[in-house]
Amino acid sequence: MKSSPFNLPRVGRIGSKALHFDSVGSTNDVAASYVAQRVSDEEVEGLVVIADTQTAGRGRRGHTWFSPPGAGLYVSVVLMPMRARVEPRRATSLLTLAAGVAIAEGIHAVTELPVNLKWPNDIYVGRRKLAGILAEASTTGPATEAVILGYGINVAATAYPPELSERAASLESEIGRRVDRHQVLVETLAALSRRYDDLLDGRFDAILDAWRLRAPSAAGAYVSWTTSDGLQLGITAGIDDNGALLVEVGDRIERVVSGELDWIN
């Protein structure tokens, strides 16, 4: 597992250091290990880790992220939303939504695909999943408030496992031409830098408005989730100002703050 400097222009706070690997277990794990070794926040904020393949890529709820060589973009970025100048805890709670907006904007800049967001952190084209985001807090080392933001984008058409073949999409299969992975990387990081600045400067409405425009399923979709009271069923009714999903259950509105949610087609 060899790393090398990556030809990545610095975009705002992101890209202060970029590492490229042919293969890793998980880019999030590599980034977290780097955070644990640093002595200051400034050394880690904006670190980008890129891999051509992951052998143990993971997604939300303990799922694996299929990461075949050269077929996707597998990236982790170290961010520190608790350094926000306005409402740092709210900035942290909105980080995943901001990242979803940014990844969608970066993809659209390269491909013009009409991608949609699905709460809390998935990116779809039509009914097929195109990309996913996983944010994990780093709890080791001096930079204890770092968040490792990982994202994976299916770029090239590939042979998906049977359980994914009907549900996964790729950029190239959707637009019918080759897509430059490096261009997708630069555009998504540039968009992420802009939206990260929105978070740090307290421009929360800009993020929430952009997310709502790209998330038609956030209102009027049937969902289910499990609580201590058992299985809950309801209809989505938007998100609140902290990014929680609002669900109408009978005559009341429930606030769902975790991703343990199933969408009923």
pLDDT at 15: 81
* C-alpha 99 chain-centroid distance: 5
Phi first, then psi, for residue 21 (nearest 5°) are -125, 145
Matching residue, tokens 């939206």 = 195
Most confident residue range from 3-12, 47-56, 148-157, 195-204? 195-204
- pLDDT tens digit sequence for 231-242: 889 999 999 999
- pLDDT tens digit sequence for 113-138: 999 999 988 999 988 889 989 998 87
Q: What is the mean pLDDT of the chain?
A: 85
Options 2.40.50.140, 2.60.40.1480, 2.30.30.100, 3.40.50.12280; CATH for 217-264 is: 2.30.30.100
Tokens of 80: 């520190």
Residue 1 has pLDDT above 70, yes or no: no
pLDDT at 162: 46
123 Cβ contact list (under 8 Å, min separation 6): 100, 103, 104, 107, 115, 116, 117, 129, 130, 131, 132, 133, 153
Amino acid at 20: H
Residue 144 has pLDDT above 70, yes or no: no
Closest CA to 130 of 107, 156, 153: 153
User: Per-residue confidence at 4, pLDDT binned at 50, 70, 90?
Assistant: very low
Q: What mean pLDDT is predicted for residues 103-107? A: 96
CATH number of 3-213: 3.30.930.10
Residue 265 has pLDDT above 80, yes or no: no
In the chain the first and final C-alpha atoms are separated, in Å, by 42
* C-alpha 121 chain-centroid distance: 6
- pLDDT tens digit sequence for 59-103: 555 555 556 677 789 999 999 999 899 999 999 999 999 999 999
Q: What is the residue extent of each domain of the chain? A: 3-213, 217-264
